[in-house]
Amino acid sequence: MVASDYRWKDGFPKIGIRPTIDGRRKGVRESLEDQTMNLAKAVSSLLSEHLRYPNGEPVECVIADTCIGGVAEAAAAAKKFKNNEVGLTITVTPCWCYGTETMDTDPSLPKAVWGFNGTGRPGAVYLAAVLSAHAQKGLPAFGIYGEDVQDEGDSVIPDDVQEKLLRFTRSGLAAAYIRGKSYLSMGSVSMGIAGSIVNDAFFQEYLGMRNEYVDMSEFTRRLEEGIYDPEEFEAALSWVKDHCKEGADNNPEKLQSSRERKDLEWETVVKMTLITRDLMIGNPRLAELGFVEESQGHHAVASGFQGQRQWTDHAPNGDFLETMLNSSFDWNGKRAPYIVATENDSLNGVNMLFGQLLTNTAQIFADVRTYWSPASVERVTGYKLEGHAEGGLLHLINSGSAALDGTGEQEIDGKPALKPFWDITDEEVTNTLQSTEFRPANVEYFRGGGFSTDYLTRGGMPMTMHRLNLVKGLGPVLQIAEGYSVDLPDHVHQTLDQRTDPTWPTTWFVPKLTGQGAFSSVYEVMNNWGANHGVISYGHIGADLITLASILRIPVNMHNVPAEQVFRPRAWGMFGTEQAESADFRACQNFGPLYK
């Protein structure tokens, strides 16, 4: 079993589909059996056709053995779902059913109900009744109700219903997949960054995750004792020499390392990459080499590398390992990204995990470094910003884990994009590597050396910047900014880039403005951002993030997602409909963390 497959040895959560029905026999139930079960099968086909697990396989649905007309059949379905590792449920019905007798009462499973909008039977009446029961019992459920009336017996799923089914399922699967997994903290707090103070209560109560910890000395031990696969190391080092271009050394000549030293650093950072992956997920090859305990790994779905400063003052930095593991390919070929947060910023790591699970694509980790106003750009470069950037732009740049995919050298319909690994072509991998340089690290920052990734993200991509913050007395809060990557004339980019660190990857990002609140200007987006880091995902995924956050009971304090795309449990409306942002905070506080 190769390492990329080893991650999936425990499988994935499945989707439980619950066809509920009017329990009255002698005519009523019998007339509805086929239609109800066909709705369940149609939902199953829709989800399996459009959604995939992180390994590229279609998602799996488990349909209850019978329609659910009462509590006995509800219990039988719950037992089947438990035995089949179902992680979320969708209840479907075209008719009236007995609400509290047929509902899903598992408090830890995300749940949605689709009540068919047809006049022949009152599926919408059941929907309203059972959602009321969910709210009354403190078991929030998403209500799905098509806008247009359908004919009785129609098995077509309307577009608006499809959108909500897919949004709920993407988000529900993400929540279900991380439950029981670990966040691995490699090292401790980096340079006083609060996000790297790993809050185990947050991970346990809101995400259902464990926390695992290793000291940075574990890297020294594994490097010195050879606790890695030597055959894979040789293959990896050969691939790196052939495909990873070493860029110019930006250090003053007197501080530049010798060629011999740089070659040693290359060997070390490749070994660090193998060690990090093995720490996260384990590696059966280590057991064959006599390292049985180490072969188990830490069951980590995400991790963070402290690095600065204790490690990087002495040894090569983690930029290469973070970049390679977060990318969609390496010396073993194309595969799903691993999630490794720079500076052990666990909160940014969680957002990277959210983004990766919602899109099946790699994520860009970056500092939200600088707001460049139109006046500042014109003063420094003589260039007047235009297009998306006419109101200013954000310089997103960090030495660490910006995945190589972030170059934008992958394409969809001829436009730059980030794609799931199974859609990436060999040519796109080559183009990505050719657009990237690995620059000797700035030794004033990184005394131990190493190699930082240097590339420029192509403009024109829809992107979403997002970030979790922890607030004393409130808990976790999510912020979201949809927008676009933008191109600048080369001389403008070079002039602005040189003012920071030209050895690091740059993404020029412009959020969409709404004219209100934090999105009244690009400056206000920067001014309201809650931390020094952010995650940048391909696509406008803000609506999916909002749905996922509501499942986990995490409020959203700023976003620019159109109101018609926001999809939360029906009970959220009970906390107010005029000011949805405030209602979100009250609902999350009222229901509390999902796993508390």
533 is in an annotated binding site: yes
| The predicted structure's pLDDT at residue 526 | 97
Please say whether the beta carbons of 236 and 273 come within 8 A. yes
Helix (H, G, I), strand (E, B) or coil at 159: helix
CA distances from 66 to 29, 38, 292 (A): 12, 12, 46
Q: List, for the chain, all residue ranges whose pLDDT scores fall below the cut of 70.
A: 1-4, 120
Please say whether the beta carbons of 24 and 31 come within 8 A. no
Looking at residue 518, the DSSP 8-state letter turns out to be G
| The predicted structure's pLDDT at residue 381 | 97
Residue with tokens 């438990």: 82
Q: For residue range 340-367, what is the model confidence (pLDDT) as tens digits? A: 999 999 999 999 999 999 999 999 999 9
User: CB within 8 A of 469, min separation 6: which ones?
Assistant: 347, 476, 477, 478, 479, 530, 531
Highest CATH level, class, for 6-178? alpha beta
Please say whether the beta carbons of 560 and 482 come within 8 A. yes
Tokens of 3: 């390492």
| The predicted structure's pLDDT at residue 1 | 44
Helix boundaries (H) for 107-243: 123-136, 159-178, 200-202, 217-225, 230-243
Where are the chain's structural domains?
6-178, 182-591
Q: DSSP letters along 208-246, please?
A: --EEEEE-THHHHHHHHHT-S-HHHHHHHHHHHHHH--B
Structurally, what CATH architecture does the domain formed by 182-591 represent? Answer: Alpha-Beta Barrel (3.20)
* Residue (of 177, 151, 178, 149) closest to 161 by Cα position: 149
User: CB within 8 A of 126, min separation 6: which ones?
Assistant: 20, 93, 95, 96, 97, 99, 115
> Across-strand partners of 370?
395
Residue with tokens 């235009």: 386
Tokens of 480: 């979201």
Beta strands in 350-413 (DSSP E): 364-372, 393-397, 410-412
Catalytic, out of 367, 497, 501, 584: 367
- Say how far apart CA 363 and CA 325 lie, in whole Å: 11
Q: Do domains 6-178 and 182-591 have the same CATH topology?
A: no
367 is in an annotated binding site: yes
Taking CB atoms within 8 Å and a gap of at least 24, the contacts of 412-416 are 415/460, 415/461, 416/458, 416/459, 416/460, 416/461, 416/485
Q: Angle at the Cα of 256 (from 255 to 260), degrees rounded to 5?
A: 135
Which region, left, alpha or beta, applies to residue 493 given φ > 0 means left and ψ of -120 to 50 means alpha? Answer: alpha
Question: Residue 367 catalytic?
Answer: yes
Residue type at position 511: P
Q: For residue range 49-73, what is the model confidence (pLDDT) as tens digits? A: 999 999 999 999 999 999 999 999 9
- Say how far apart CA 571 and CA 407 lie, in whole Å: 42
Q: For residue range 72-121, what is the model confidence (pLDDT) as tens digits? A: 999 999 999 999 999 999 999 999 999 999 999 999 999 999 998 877 67
378 is in an annotated binding site: no
| The predicted structure's pLDDT at residue 156 | 86
Residue type at position 277: R
Start-to-end C-alpha separation, the chain = 37
User: CB within 8 A of 9, min separation 6: which ones?
Assistant: 1
CA dihedral 176, 179, 184, 189 (to 10 degrees): 100
CA–centroid distance for 266 within its chain: 30
| The predicted structure's pLDDT at residue 116 | 83
User: CB within 8 A of 158, min separation 6: which ones?
Assistant: 146, 147, 148, 150
Please say whether the beta carbons of 39 and 17 come within 8 A. no
Helix (H, G, I), strand (E, B) or coil at 308: coil
473 CB neighbour count, 10 Å cutoff: 4
| CA pseudo-torsion sign 193, 196, 201, 202 | positive
Question: Residue 343 catalytic?
Answer: yes
Q: What would you report as the CA-atom Rg of the chain, rounded to the nearest whole angstrom?
A: 25
CB neighbour class for 542 (10 Å; exposed up to 12, middle 13-18, buried from 19): buried
Looking at residue 64, the DSSP 8-state letter turns out to be -
| The predicted structure's pLDDT at residue 569 | 98
| The predicted structure's pLDDT at residue 2 | 54
Catalytic, out of 229, 232, 343, 497: 343
Please give the share of the chain, as a percent, with pLDDT higher than 90: 91
